[in-house]
């Protein structure tokens, strides 16, 4: 997928509303780059909780982020309302690579886009294990190659 395709909202499967906070802005008056990773992490975890049956406090498996990246295309600032978008780029046995992006509400081109890779491990031993059936099914539905060109879910309008 080209960089321009990573920037289009229509190339993501799941999305949800994000509200910026005053504290997100840095001294230059825009959302600091570190906050984009927090937005990405929230989007992925909301997908896992709402679509894949993940229970952060009690699921037998947990995901460790082993790789992440972000490209920035346009600044955002408080008090903008945002959309966090998620898709699955690649699904392995114990790992999944998500495509993630942040959009200003009402815009179809991302302000930032990136990737995050989870390796799923057993909660107690931290040893990698095959992604469980329920999560795998949800992830498979979010695979960009399996998805239609429209977003499957927006949890809140902004």
Residue 14 has pLDDT above 70, yes or no: yes
60 and 122 in contact (C-beta within 8 Å)? yes
Give the integer Cα–Cα distance in Å for 97 and 93.
Answer: 11
Instruction: Report which secondary-structure segment, H or E, holds 48.
Output: helix 33-52
Instruction: Report which secondary-structure segment, H or E, holds 6.
Output: helix 3-6
pLDDT at site 153 = 53
Please give the angle made by the CA atoms of 26, 87 and 143, to the nearest 5 degrees: 165
Lowest mean pLDDT among 51-60, 69-78, 149-158: 149-158
Residue 75 has pLDDT above 60, yes or no: yes
- Report the percent of the chain where pLDDT is more than 70: 90
Residue 12 has pLDDT above 50, yes or no: yes
Interval 105-143: pLDDT, tens: 999 999 999 999 999 999 999 999 999 999 999 999 999
Query: What residues contact 79, with CB distance under 8 A and at least 6 apart?
Result: 19, 20, 22
* Beta bridge mates, 90: 97
What value does the mean pLDDT take over residues 56-81? 96
Q: Both tokens of residue 107?
A: 């815009």
Q: Where are the domains of the chain?
A: 3-154
**Domain 3-154 has what CATH class?**
alpha beta
> DSSP class of residue 130?
P
Q: How far is CA 148 from CA 11, 12, 75, in A?
A: 9, 9, 29
pLDDT at site 83 = 97
pLDDT at site 2 = 54
For 62, other C-beta atoms within 10 Å of its C-beta total: 15
- Report the percent of the chain where pLDDT is more than 90: 87
- What 3-state DSSP class applies to 109? strand
pLDDT at site 6 = 77
Give the integer Cα–Cα distance in Å for 21 and 77.
Answer: 9
Residue 103 has pLDDT above 80, yes or no: yes
Peptide bond into 102 cis (omega under 30): no
């Amino acid at each position: 997928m080209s960089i321009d395709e990573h920037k289009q909202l229509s190339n993501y499967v799941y999305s949800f509303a994000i509200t910026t906070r005053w504290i997100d802005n840095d001294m230059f008056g825009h959302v600091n780059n570190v906050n984009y990773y927090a937005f990405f992490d929230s989007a992925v975890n909301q997908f896992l909780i709402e679509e894949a049956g993940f229970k952060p406090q009690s699921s037998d498996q947990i995901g460790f982020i082993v790789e992440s990246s972000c490209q920035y295309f346009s600044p955002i600032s408080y008090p903008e309302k945002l959309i966090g978008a998620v898709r699955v780029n690649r699904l392995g046995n114990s790992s999944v690579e998500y495509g993630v992006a942040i959009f200003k509400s009402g815009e179809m081109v991302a302000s930032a886009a990136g990737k995050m890779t989870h390796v799923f491990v057993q909660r107690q031993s931290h040893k990698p294990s095959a992604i469980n059936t329920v999560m795998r099914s949800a992830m498979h539905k979010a695979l960009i190659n399996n998805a239609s060109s429209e977003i499957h879910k927006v949890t809140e309008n902004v």
